[in-house]
Structure 1
Amino acid sequence: MKILHAKLLLGSMLITLSINPIALNAQGCVAIRHFSSCVGNSLENNLLGNGDLQIGMNYRYFKSFRHFRGTEEESDRVTNNTEVINHSHAWDFFLTYGISDRFYTSITIPTVINARSSLYEHGREERNSTFSRGLADIRAGVGYWLLDPIKHSGGNMAVGIGIKLPTGNYNATDIFYNVGPEGSPEVRPVDQSIQPGDGGFGLTVDFQFYKKMTTGLFAYGGGFYLLNPRETNGIRTFRETLSPLLENEAIMAVPDQYSVRTGLSYSLSNALSTSLGARFDAVPVKDLIGGNEGFRRPGNVLSIEPGLAYFLHNLTLNLNVPFAVRRDRPQSVTDRQTEISTGTPRNGDAAFADYLINFGISYRFTKSKTMEIDPSLMDTFN
């Protein structure tokens, strides 16, 4: 019977799943927070032995510019140069520690740089940009594998719970032009979509699973839900200055978010794997807990997500690029309120991206111990 370093072996197995923990990727103005589950949804990063430590960084970028109202694209916005353009960069620095072979805990410290270009926020006469940067909302949590990872290497499921802290600035400001007295510039809070934080304490629940289908081929899946009980954060949007009908959207909401994903991953070699899956990311119209007043852009995105991962000893690199195939900006609570009060149909719009770039790098520090692995399980790791 071969003697193998247990965590090196487990890392080799799960890297075939190459699941990047950066999400929620609801692609644009709808995704007001570059957010992931508190314990991440990366199988490989969470499969740790007692005393193992994983550190890493995940980077995400997208450009949102395609406007949707419901599932219909308003292509004239780009043609007429009236589209809103968001450039979003996020770096999540994380640390995960194996409390035991089945329990793990993790903390994620996110930072962001965002830019937003628009006409309507600057008097509608000229295009200008606003910016935000800095620390976002820190997340921490714990997870548990339901089965022993060594004995059940062909399939397993983990569940987790965590908290989101309101550490990010949710009142970031910049200069808006042509909006003050006599068209003067004025300092105001930037749009909800580029605020580094949302101002609420949150609770997340998550799950993740993998299942061996045949040698080298795995099915994977997972998801999380963020509950944000706080209804509004008190920050003014200034939307009511655009129209009296938007009075009910004068204050920013603190909405829930969720994401689910599933797919297949295939090991090309001991060091390289590829994956293809689908994901669904959303900001819901209504929260599970708390009220639903204030301004939010609800929306959801269905994406096809190819991925590639590389594993060398304890170093992991992965790249995932979700491509949007369906985008939807449903009617919000405030849209419905306005429709009822005016008798005129109303459904706000939102800008979405065509794709995202998710890149991750991590390194695992393992304890200097070995354990015996049943030879019948060896093909699982190839």
Structure 2
Amino acid sequence: MKTQRTLYFITFITALFFGINASNAQGCVAIRHFSSCVGNTLESNLLGQGDIQIGSNYRYFKSFRHFRGTEEEPDRVANGSEVINHSHSWDFFLTYGITDRLYTSVTIPTVINTRSSLYEHGREERNTTFSRGLADIRVGVGYWLFDLEKHQNGNLALGLGLKLPTGSYNASDIFYNVGPEGSPQVRPVDQSIQPGDGGFGITVDFQFYQKIAERLFAYGGGFYLINPRETNGTRTFRETLSPILQNEAIMAVPDQFSLRAGVSQSFSNTISGSLGARYEGVPVKDLIGGNEGFRRPGNVLSIDPGIAFMKDNFSLNLNVPFAVRRDRPQSVTDKQTEEATGNPRNGDAAFADYLINVGVSFRFPNKKVKVDPELMNQFSN
């Protein structure tokens, strides 16, 4: 019975966190899709020694609502001048259980992005730029602080990861009406659709769960990406829009963060649902390094419902976070410009209304490891 209970527990926890650990900032605030370096699923943390977990997480959003601070600018949509980003990303991950409590993971992300705007193409006609390819690979390790079999009602995992600058940070496309005599010109695409940021990063993260009642659990977690590099040398061409934007001529390599918490209810041995909140974005200033260069700082608070299916070693989940508060604060360059000109300055950013996250994974258990099946079934989320 002990082995059965252990398997039941791991299955429910696995589904509870599948898709919850993925973090996806909405819109052109965050430079790109990013998730924790130690994997997209809590099952990454719940592997027995020698177990292998493989999977993929797909994310889509359309950002088009412009904000300055927390105030929306609805006229941008009304008069057709809004910037529209379509973002598709796929994370492919593999996680290995080094011991029952220590695990390691590698995440290989790919992206396809489009950006439609007027202001980047001479303000006379709307055109679209495009980027795709490998993004920044992440590798990491995580550790459960408490023995999983002895602490089935609650536990805490800590993780440490490395982000590698494998994605292109100077991807280019054709911009119209901006070259000599209004000719087309090849330029780097906007920061928001660059596949990579050009810097080595360090990620720290945590995850926890706590049983509240039978088949009802609270969950939470988050990560912070530390990007020490200040700028990556890629030109934005923003200074061509206005002389006062000279301090935004080069792209920054900003930090990124995410926090989430909620509850998950198991409805059967294969189906469960969750309801939580996410808070994520790009800070105005980095923890380490300088803050020069162009960035769009901002944050999003979302309500995050989800549903998951698990059968044996297979997991499938859907999460659709809906934004309830969006904020584009003053950046460092905004404040510099305001001080230099004496005029108020707060750049805008486009945000999405919602995200679509779909995740799938499969576990290859080490047959030598005895895990309680009752525990595995308990967390079918």
Q: Give the letter for the 2:68 counterpart.
A: R
**Matched residue SS, 1:15:** helix
Which residue pairs with 1:188 in the alignment? 187
Which residue pairs with 1:114 in the alignment? 113
Which residue pairs with 1:341 in the alignment? 340
Is residue 267–residue 274 contact of structure 1 (8 Å, CA) maintained in 2? Answer: yes
Which residue pairs with 2:196 in the alignment? 197
Deviates more, 1:348-357 or 1:40-49: 40-49
Is residue 189–residue 237 contact of structure 1 (8 Å, CA) maintained in 2? Answer: yes
Measured after TM superposition, the shift of residue 43 of structure 1 is 1.6
Change (3 A) 1:177 1:313: same
Which residue pairs with 1:330 in the alignment? 329
Which residue pairs with 2:4 in the alignment? 4
Change (3 A) 1:282 1:374: closer
Is residue 39–residue 95 contact of structure 2 (8 Å, CA) maintained in 1? Answer: no
Which residue pairs with 1:352 in the alignment? 351
Q: Give the letter for the 1:239 counterpart.
A: R
Alignment of 1:276-287 (within 5 A): 276-287=275-286
Specify every segment of 5 or more residues in structure 2 that has no aligned partner in the other structure, as ranges. Answer: none
Measured after TM superposition, the shift of residue 18 of structure 1 is 3.8
**Matched residue SS, 2:77:** helix
Task: Count residues in correspondence.
Answer: 380
Q: Give the letter for the 2:367 counterpart.
A: S
Is residue 18–residue 318 contact of structure 1 (8 Å, CA) maintained in 2? Answer: no
Q: Distance in 1 between matches of 2:56 and 2:113?
A: 18
**Matched residue SS, 2:8:** helix
**Matched residue SS, 1:37:** coil
Q: CA RMSD in A?
A: 1.7
Q: Structure 1 residue runs of 4+, over 6 Å off? A: none
Q: Distance in 1 between matches of 2:370 and 2:285?
A: 49
Measured after TM superposition, the shift of residue 44 of structure 1 is 2.6
Q: Give the letter for the 2:4 counterpart.
A: L
Measured after TM superposition, the shift of residue 379 of structure 1 is 9.3
Offset from partner CA, 1:94-141 (integer Å, 9 cap, x none): 000000000000000000000000000000000000000000000000
Specify every segment of 5 or more residues in structure 1 that has no aligned partner in the other structure, as ranges. Answer: none
Offset from partner CA, 1:45-100 (integer Å, 9 cap, x none): 32100000000000000000000000000000000000000000000000000000
Change (3 A) 1:36 1:370: closer
Q: Give the letter for the 1:343 counterpart.
A: G
Measured after TM superposition, the shift of residue 367 of structure 1 is 1.0
**Matched residue SS, 1:371:** coil
Which residue pairs with 1:215 in the alignment? 214
1:292 paired to 2:309: no
Deviates more, 1:159-168 or 1:8-17: 8-17
Alignment of 1:65-144 (within 5 A): 65-144=64-143
Which residue pairs with 1:47 in the alignment? 46
Is residue 18–residue 274 contact of structure 1 (8 Å, CA) maintained in 2? Answer: no
Question: TM (normalized to structure 2)?
Answer: 0.96
Identity %: 75
Q: Give the letter for the 2:207 counterpart.
A: Q
Is residue 160–residue 207 contact of structure 1 (8 Å, CA) maintained in 2? Answer: yes
